[in-house]
Structure 1
Amino acid sequence: MAATGKNTPPLAYVRFGENPLRRIPQLFIGLALYGFSLSVMVRASLGVNPWSVLYEGLENYTPLSFGAISAVLGVLVLLTWIPLKQKPTFGTIANIIVLAFSSDLGLSLIPEDLGLPVRIMLLIGGIVLNGLSIGIYVGARFGPGPRDGLMTGASATSGKSIRLIRTVIEITVLIIGWLLGGSVGVGTVLYALCVGPVTQFCLPWFAYRAVDERRPAAEAAPAVA
């Protein structure tokens, strides 16, 4: 069952074989919605999140699609896990594949050159959907995606906070993408401000609780002589 408390629920990796019929569909639904939300924000044409800025910038210099670029970069980011002693999981590989297909599918379904009112609605809807989808797929607890693993691995290796490492990574990616011609705008700022709160609100509803986390406190506590 999903957690319903206000605090962030446990999100550490849970072994693949535990309740897969419940968790695998959740993982794939969340990743598909995440990829689709990226395409929604791209079609809004009001600025996208930092990694999407980089994908858009690289589209100007390669024949690859937005989704294909995200997959290639995902694999390249995985290579940085080696010195960080990170190990990919089922969720890591699913992240690369599903995001690539779902984002390209969304771009093929949503028309370009829409009016400003529609684009504003797409931007807001895309950010909300993005935060919701993160809550869904992260809540399945199959391990981090390539970019999140880079963040946590770099933090563990360097001893620096995850907040600092994530900020450095996101700013670096944003600058490179902008220099390559990716779209930076009000949507980029709005995403940075809003996606965290939306994700935190959604996570407790979708976070899977492992079997050993469901035991009553009295049962889990050691006996007192």
Structure 2
Amino acid sequence: MSGLIPTPSLPERALEELAAQQNARDLAGLLTIWGSPFGEPLLQELGPAQPDLFRVELQLDRTWATRAQRAGVSRDRAMRDFARTSIDFINVRSALLLALQGTDVDVDDMFLSGGGHLRANQFRLAALAGGVEATLEMLVRGMAASSFADVLRMHGDLSTLEEALLVEHISHFGRLARREPTSLAPVLTYVLRLRKQVIDLRRLIWGIALDVPRPTLLRDVVGVGS
């Protein structure tokens, strides 16, 4: 339970009950009974004896993306921008996972629509490019109109690429917050910074516990730009 964060829709008592379930399908069934939007999509993927965890995660992402886009319709531009860029990042991650380990699912089924930059045909080309370097090159082309393309082009460590994109996400909304201070951009910047802070604290705690040298530990904490 120490790694879980209660929310209004899933308070601590609900998380405790979910954690007590014997298997993932029972967990999904309980979410469905509670009326959670994640319940039914999870049940659809957890039917087989050995479900594809990649597809399970994608269903969670797809459900989140649908809800985020719906929220963006009735809110300001910053919220819509947040939903679109977040969907782009999910697609970037999926394309790289496909390049690294492959899967027997249809590549087109892995794409989430609604992103701000990466299109379905670009995602397909990236996922089927034939290697991580080629995939990154195609992703850079797809994201070329954004500041995230430089991160994809220059960041050499795949293990921290998602975090580096988060850092640029923070910078992106920081710039938007200065231009549109009355929008939701300042709030989104704050939320993203909290997410980055949690990642840094987790790394520091594990690093100290494993006696990682201090210079290495500090180097691995990716800084946040302005």
TM-score, normalised by the number of residues in structure 2? 0.29
TM-score scaled by length of structure 1: 0.29
